[in-house]
Amino acid sequence: MPPLAELPDRKGKMKPAVSSDKLIGKSVDWFGGQKYKITADKSDWKANPPEVSIKEWVDMMLPAQGKPGGTDDEHKQVVSMDATVLDWVWEGNVAMSEPETKQVWVNYKSPTPGKRFALRFDPITGKLSIPYLRPHMGKRVPFSPEHNPAPFFEPILVQNQAPIRAPMLDGSGVATHVDDALE
């Protein structure tokens, strides 16, 4: 499908979306003048501008990693109605989508069943490019991080120059969050 045409008074302002690895080394503008530098591996929230690893950056925008219903079976994933996780993965520093469905639906059959695609991001803001899901037949739309109704409004809560809800990987591949500053 061809890209949408830009509005005449905004020609040239929209840049093509990029995969997560293309954000590394770039400074992104999270609107309102707050800039963040995306790094390959380490975060330093006290730097100026704050430095955020690509894995932390992407984790803040996507639902938790996992298989809906805790299974590889696509039918069981659909029946589970599990919207708490999404089967996205990392390939190096590239965040990859859930696999294309292998199921055949009325009027829809994936041209690439089982294939994953690189998730795309706005190169200016670093935000997840929409839409990021391919046809997601029978499944609920996944919850946003923190089950927040407006996930892109402010996923980075900062108090005294330190993040208070930045994701922390616990070593098992499951993201947890620091909430003690919210008390």
Q: What is the mean pLDDT of residues 91-107?
A: 92
- pLDDT of 39 reads 95
pLDDT at 146 (0 to 100)? 64
Q: In the predicted model, what is the mean pLDDT of residues 59-70? A: 88
Question: Is residue 108 predicted with pLDDT exceeding 70?
Answer: yes
> What's the rounded Cα separation, in Å, for the pair 68 and 83?
7
Which residue blocks in 13-140 are alpha helix, DSSP H? 54-61, 74-80
pLDDT value at residue 11: 83
- At 94, the amino acid letter reads V
pLDDT, position 23: 96
What is d(CA 59, CA 27) in angstroms, rounded to the nearest whole number? 18
Three-state DSSP state, 163: strand
What phi and psi, each to the nearest 5 degrees, are found at residue 9? -85, 0
For the cut 90, the answer to whether the pLDDT of residue 40 exceeds it is: yes
Count CB atoms within 10 A of the CB of residue 85. 19
Q: What is the pLDDT of residue 28?
A: 92
pTM score of the predicted model: 0.77
pLDDT digits (tens, 9 = 90+) for 7-20: 888 888 888 899 99
What's the whole-number average pLDDT of the chain?
80
What is the model's pLDDT at position 130? 81
pLDDT at 87: 92
134, 97 in Cβ contact below 8 A?
yes
Confidence of residue 53 (pLDDT cuts 50, 70, 90): very high
Task: Return the percentage of the chain with pLDDT > 70, whole number.
Answer: 77
* More confident of the two residues 162 and 12: 12
Residue 157: pLDDT band (50, 70, 90) is low
Q: Which amino acid is at 116?
A: R
Instruction: Return the DSSP state at 9.
Output: G
Length of the chain: 183
Q: Is pLDDT larger for residue 117 or for residue 32?
A: 117
